[in-house]
């Protein structure tokens, strides 16, 4: 296909300044976002374990939706079933299995960064994240580059299906200088804080600008969207605003994908980040509403599940009630094998499949906490009836 630049083609402008005041920013949206972020931080302190279990669900959403934005339309049901069954070993040219592997790797990368002691966030970390994401996918159908973790060496552009170029990102010769600016901005703490709310305002605005600037640079041959959207929760985590990587916005961005790209382009059109910041604040507020509802769902479901488990009056189940509950609420589908793996990862009291069959399986079936969904050969796949997130990207 031939590509064409037109008078409407937008080109990266290195002279666009970071905002240094609130001029043009919707103060009502900013105030709501402030309040929501502070509530999220407080909830994280109070609930701890239950909060982390909701994050597991949000992490799965992020994995699915950030990939869906890039065209990987595996649904939550499909992904959960595949997690329970496991990947096939032969992936070379299998489009579907490669799509699943992409999701598996992305979810693991998010968890891995949580374990890192180095919380300073720079482009060096983004290159490592990109390498972790795409090294195993090199030259597969889902990823066509052979330079995972390295900046592009030739200029790229964004074009429509008809061949018209809509945006020309930062040139190869400017990437290092642009990241020098971005690194400084990410880690700059030289703000004059008036109160805690203004501190959150600064971080909310910066997280929007940082994501937008990264996407405008478009430093990699492929994978810029997924790394750039992951930059948002990593920013809040790296500044210790959240104790966990939890501010996942891709679900909401996916719902407004066309507007997302238009607002990113608005920076070049208006020579200002303001329009994108206002849209980002709307998305952030929708994310926090979803988060709080999921947290309520989790606590209500936890109470119901634990009452049912206690009613069985089985010593082993009572001792491990939190672990069993967590598995049932954060996994839509399980197999005997996947349940045992999940249980042993969380509990000090290890079990094998025989123990699961004899001690737990029939009790869960009797209580209708799980039900047989289908058989895959000899393997039985069970559906967890109290799974807290039935939202899919179908």
C-alpha dist (Å) from residue 275 to 208, 282, 339? 11, 11, 47
301 shares its domain with 158: no
Q: What is the Cα Rg of the chain in Å?
A: 23
245 shares its domain with 379: no
Summarize pLDDT for 238-285 with one digit per residue, the tens: 888 998 899 999 999 999 999 999 999 999 999 999 999 999 999 999
41 shares its domain with 66: yes
Whether the pLDDT of residue 12 is over 70: the answer is yes
Mean pLDDT of 297-314: 91
274 C-beta neighbours (distance < 10 Å), count: 18
323 shares its domain with 227: no
Range of the domain at 49: 10-292
C-alpha dist (Å) from residue 257 to 132, 144, 208, 249, 260? 26, 23, 16, 12, 5
262 shares its domain with 349: no
C-alpha to C-alpha distance for 256 and 224, rounded to whole angstroms: 18
C-alpha to C-alpha distance for 212 and 204, rounded to whole angstroms: 13
Phi, psi for 333 (deg, rounded to 5): -135, 145
276 shares its domain with 342: no
Q: Which helix (H) or strand (E) holds 285?
A: helix 274-311
Number of structural domains the chain divides into: 2
What confidence category does residue 317 fall into, taking pLDDT thresholds of 50, 70 and 90? confident
| Parallel, antiparallel or unpaired: strands 10-11 and 165-168 | parallel
78 shares its domain with 205: yes
Domain boundary among the residues 252, 268, 292 is at 292
CATH of residue 369: 1.10.10
247 shares its domain with 368: no
The proportion of the chain whose per-residue pLDDT surpasses 90, expressed as a percent, equals: 55
Phi, psi for 158 (deg, rounded to 5): -110, 125
Q: What is the pLDDT of residue 141?
A: 47
Per-residue tokens: 167: 């945006």
Domain boundary among the residues 292, 315, 339 is at 292
What confidence category does residue 92 fall into, taking pLDDT thresholds of 50, 70 and 90? very low
Nearest-CA neighbor of 218 among 165, 184, 168?
168
Mean pLDDT of 290-315: 91
C-alpha to C-alpha distance for 199 and 320, rounded to whole angstroms: 41
Is there a domain that residue 4 lies in?
A: no
Is there a domain that residue 1 lies in?
A: no
What confidence category does residue 3 fall into, taking pLDDT thresholds of 50, 70 and 90? low
Domain boundary among the residues 292, 322, 341 is at 292
230 shares its domain with 328: no
Phi, psi for 325 (deg, rounded to 5): -60, -45
Per DSSP, 17 falls in state: P
Per-residue tokens: 92: 């070379």
50 shares its domain with 88: yes
CATH of residue 145: 1.10.3290.10
């Amino acid at each position: 296909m031939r590509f064409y630049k037109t008078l409407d083609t937008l080109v990266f402008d290195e002279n666009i300044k970071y905002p240094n005041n609130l001029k043009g920013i919707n103060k009502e949206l900013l105030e709501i976002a402030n309040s929501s972020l502070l509530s999220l931080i407080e909830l994280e302190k109070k609930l701890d374990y239950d909060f982390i279990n909701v994050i597991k669900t949000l992490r799965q959403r992020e994995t699915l939706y950030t990939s869906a934005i890039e065209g990987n339309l595996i649904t939550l049901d499909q992904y959960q079933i595949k997690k329970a069954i496991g990947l096939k070993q032969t992936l070379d040219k299998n489009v579907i299995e490669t799509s699943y592997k992409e999701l598996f790797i992305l979810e693991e990368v998010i968890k891995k960064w949580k374990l890192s002691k180095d919380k300073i966030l720079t482009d060096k970390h983004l290159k490592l994240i990109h390498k972790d994401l795409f090294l195993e996918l090199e030259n597969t159908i889902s990823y066509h580059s052979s330079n995972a973790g390295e900046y592009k060496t030739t200029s790229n552009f964004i074009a429509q299906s008809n061949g018209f170029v809509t945006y020309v990102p930062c040139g190869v010769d400017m990437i290092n200088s642009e990241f020098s600016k971005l690194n400084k901005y990410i880690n700059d703490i030289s703000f004059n804080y008036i109160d805690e709310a203004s501190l959150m305002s600064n971080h909310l605005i910066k997280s929007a600008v940082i994501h937008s600037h990264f996407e405008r640079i478009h430093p990699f041959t492929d994978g810029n969207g997924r790394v750039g959207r992951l930059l948002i929760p990593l920013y809040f985590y790296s500044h210790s605003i959240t104790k966990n990587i939890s501010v996942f916005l891709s679900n909401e961005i996916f719902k407004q994908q066309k507007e997302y790209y238009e607002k990113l382009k608005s920076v070049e059109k208006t020579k200002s980040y303001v329009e994108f910041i206002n849209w980002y604040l709307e998305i952030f507020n929708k994310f926090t509403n979803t988060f709080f509802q999921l947290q309520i769902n989790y606590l209500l479901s936890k109470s119901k599940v634990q009452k049912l488990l206690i009613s069985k009056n089985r010593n082993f189940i009572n001792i491990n009630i939190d672990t069993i509950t967590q598995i049932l609420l954060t996994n839509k589908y399980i197999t005997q094998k996947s349940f045992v793996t999940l249980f042993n990862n969380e509990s000090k009291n290890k079990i094998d499949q025989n123990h699961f069959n004899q001690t737990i399986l029939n009790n869960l079936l009797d209580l209708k906490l799980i039900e047989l969904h289908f058989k895959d050969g000899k393997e039985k796949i069970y559906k967890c009836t109290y799974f807290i997130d039935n939202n899919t990207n179908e």
